[in-house]
Every structure is written in C-alpha cells, then in structure tokens.
C-alpha cells in the first residue's frame, strides 16, 4: 500500500477533508494512473450533498486524465507512461448490455466499498463511481481508460471523461441526429454546451439554447447555438417554435436536473421528435406530462447515460476533433485549482457561473 493525498467526504453536505489515504497496487486487469487533472462535475457535488445516498466515507471525482504509472497483470494494449483519459465507465465486456454495445449500462455490479483505497488507518473508504479521482492517483480497470496523445493538455482531456462524452454523445448516439434537423438544448452549463457542440458537429440546421441566464445564452452561441431563449420567459417553448419557423424540434436535450425543465421539454418537440433525458434530478423528484400528446404525435422520451458512449470508439474521434480545432475544450475551463482548494472550487461551481472547474495536481 502507498500513501497519497485525497479529498474525502465523511458526512453529506460538509466540506471535503484533504487527508492521507492508502492506495493498493493494481490487480488483474487494472492500471494505476497518476493524475494531472480532474474536473469537478455536478454529479460529484450531488453525491457529496447526499442527493442520491451512497456509502461514506468516500472519495468522489470521475473526470480525470493522467499518466499510467503501474500496470497490473493481464493488462493489454496499454503501457507504462501512456497518457490516458480516466472515466467512470467500468464495463465487464461480457454481460448482455456490454455485448449489445451498451457498456454504459453494464449489468455487472461494482462494490466501491471493497475497491483499491482505504483510510490512513486501514479502514473502509468508498471509491465512488468506480474512480475516486479527487486524489493524486487512482487504480481503475483497464477498460475505464483510453490512451490519448501526450500532446493533448491534461486539463482539457479530463473534460472528455464525462461532460463532453455525455453532451456530445446525447446528440450523436441517443438522439441519432441527422444533418438538417433541429435541436433544443435545455441548460447551457457544461453538459449543455457540449450537447450544443454535438449538434453543431452533427450538422443541425438550428440549435436553440434555453437557459435562465442571458450570459449563458451568449456563451451558448459561442459554442454553436443559433438562437437563445430565456427559460424565465412566459411559455419559452413558443419563442423556440418561432425561431424554428413554427415547427418544433426533432430532438430536445435536457441537460439540467430541474423538474420544470422536464415538465416543459415535450412542448418543444415537433411531430415524431424525441426528448433525450440527461440531467439527473434528486431522488424522489417527479415530472409530469400528457402522454396522449406524445402518443398522438409519435413523440418519445429516452434516458441517456453518459451519452451512450463506447469510450474506446468515441473518445478517440472527439480528441481528434479537438486537435483539429473543431471541438472546444479549453474554452470550457472556468478555473484551475489545487487539491487544497477543492472546496472553494466546488462552491464556485455551485454558484452557477462556472462552465467546468479543474483540479490540477503538481508533479
């Protein structure tokens, strides 16, 4: 066991504590990654606040990038010194979902209470989301990482691990958007901006961003939105319809966990359109809609977990688009913080103005 620094959650809703923890060596099929960067996702914050329950004490963090520093037995296709993106998608590769091309829905459970980390005294420490990346190093399954060029900055690369693949993938994989179709993206935060980028890359005709902040709508246009609609307007879907020439959208991507957004989402749809549900409300929160309308107009609603991505297939082409200047990553970073500043970075993220805050580790 080696000793590393990590940000540990001991009680929901309280500040994370920077402390020493123990990390074991990688076992069969695992790799150790020394991290250069980890981004702060709203899912980390929701977990730390107790929105979805979970085991404590825990180390959160799941959008990371770094260098492979140790290989466990049985690892193939990766080498010591490789630059990698680290994701939370721990797929067995053999269950029905994995075999059917849906590794984000892997049916093999993972028990984070018996993962590679322990407290400094050897007690239980939960590796949250199979990653635990608010730490200097992680030990994860080899299928959770994707090798990237060492020329790609790690702070930018870390964003791909969740926010980028979730937003872009929701449009490309879940909505199956075709060139010339119209899209409404509800929420212009980190994931929403990536959904907008996904729609632009896919050749959408018009991309309508909906948000409560005029500043965020201005940013959305920098990422490819053709129009912006304030969610605070009366019946904002009517403004979106006007921008779309009187017709609804072929796809509505809900990237926020706000119940009013889910209640209103079907109102933006064209006949035959689809709502893609990405944002995650707290447990026991419920939305309502009129199913007869969806049935009569051939509309649908579908959940999308992590953009329905296959990381070994989808991350390489997204990295390539970034290298070409066609996918914005650097522009998504609002601030860079040290691990000791993680609570300040979380507070800044919760303020609503940040796109993505990134923790940078010193080597």
Assign 352 a pLDDT band (cuts: 50, 70, 90): confident
Superfamily of domain 167-304, CATH level 4: NAD(P)-binding Rossmann-like Domain (3.40.50.720)
Instruction: Please give the pLDDT value at position 351.
Output: 86
Q: CATH 3.90.180.10 occupies which residues in the chain?
A: 2-151+329-360
**Residue 90: what pLDDT?**
95
Span 82-92, mean pLDDT? 97
Helix axes 190-201, 214-222, angle to 10 degrees: 30
Per-residue pLDDT, averaged over 115-133, amounts to 97
Mean pLDDT of the chain: 96
What CATH number was assigned to the domain covering residues 2-151+329-360?
A: 3.90.180.10
Q: Give mean pLDDT, residues 244-260.
A: 96
Structure confidence by residue, pLDDT tens digits, 304-348: 999 999 999 999 999 999 999 999 999 999 999 999 999 999 999
Q: Which two tokens stand for residue 164?
A: 């980028």
CB 254 within 8 A of CB 262: yes
User: Residue 363 has what pLDDT?
Assistant: 65
Question: pLDDT digit string (tens) for 176-205?
Answer: 999 999 999 999 999 999 999 999 999 999
Contacts of 70 (CB under 8 A, 6+ apart): 25, 26, 31, 32, 80
pLDDT of 237 reads 97
DSSP 250-316: EEEEE-S--HHHHHHGGGGEEEEEEEEE---PPTT------HHHHHHTT-EEEE-SGGG--HHHHHH
In the chain, ranges of CATH 3.40.50.720 domains = 167-304
């Amino acid at each position: 066991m080696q000793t590393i620094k990590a940000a540990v959650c001991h009680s929901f809703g309280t500040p994370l504590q920077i402390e020493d923890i123990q990390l074991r060596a990688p076992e069969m099929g695992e790799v150790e990654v020394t991290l250069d960067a980890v981004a702060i996702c709203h899912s980390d914050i929701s977990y730390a606040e107790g929105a979805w329950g979970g085991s404590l004490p825990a180390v959160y963090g799941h959008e990371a990038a770094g260098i492979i520093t140790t290989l466990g037995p049985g690892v193939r296709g990766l080498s010591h010194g490789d630059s990698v993106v680290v994701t939370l998608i721990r797929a067995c590769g053999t269950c029905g979902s994995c075999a059917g091309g849906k590794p984000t829905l892997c049916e093999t459970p993972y028990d984070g209470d018996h993962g590679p980390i322990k407290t400094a005294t050897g007690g239980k420490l939960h590796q949250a989301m199979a990653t635990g990346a608010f730490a200097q190093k992680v030990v994860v399954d080899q299928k959770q990482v994707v090798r990237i060029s060492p020329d790609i900055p790690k702070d930018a690369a870390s964003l791909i691990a969740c926010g980028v693949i979730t937003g872009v993938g929701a449009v490309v994989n879940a909505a199956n958007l075709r060139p010339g179709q119209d899209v409404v993206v509800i929420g212009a935060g980190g994931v929403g901006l990536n959904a907008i980028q996904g729609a632009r890359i896919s050749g959408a005709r018009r991309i309508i961003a909906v948000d409560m902040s005029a500043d965020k709508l201005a940013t959305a246009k920098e990422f490819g939105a053709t129009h912006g609609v304030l969610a605070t307007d009366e019946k904002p879907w009517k403004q979106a319809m006007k921008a779309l020439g009187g017709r609804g959208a072929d796809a509505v991507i809900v990237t926020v966990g706000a119940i009013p957004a889910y209640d209103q989402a079907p109102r933006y749809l064209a006949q035959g359109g689809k709502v893609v549900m990405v944002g995650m409300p707290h447990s026991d929160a419920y939305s309502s809609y009129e199913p007869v309308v969806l049935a009569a107009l051939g509309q649908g609603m579908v959940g999308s977990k992590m953009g329905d991505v296959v990381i070994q297939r989808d991350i390489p082409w997204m990295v390539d688009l970034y290298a070409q200047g066609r996918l914005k990553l650097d522009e998504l970073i609002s601030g860079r913080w040290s691990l000791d500043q993680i609570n300040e970075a979380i507070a800044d993220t919760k303020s609503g103005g940040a796109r993505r805050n990134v923790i940078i580790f010193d080597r």
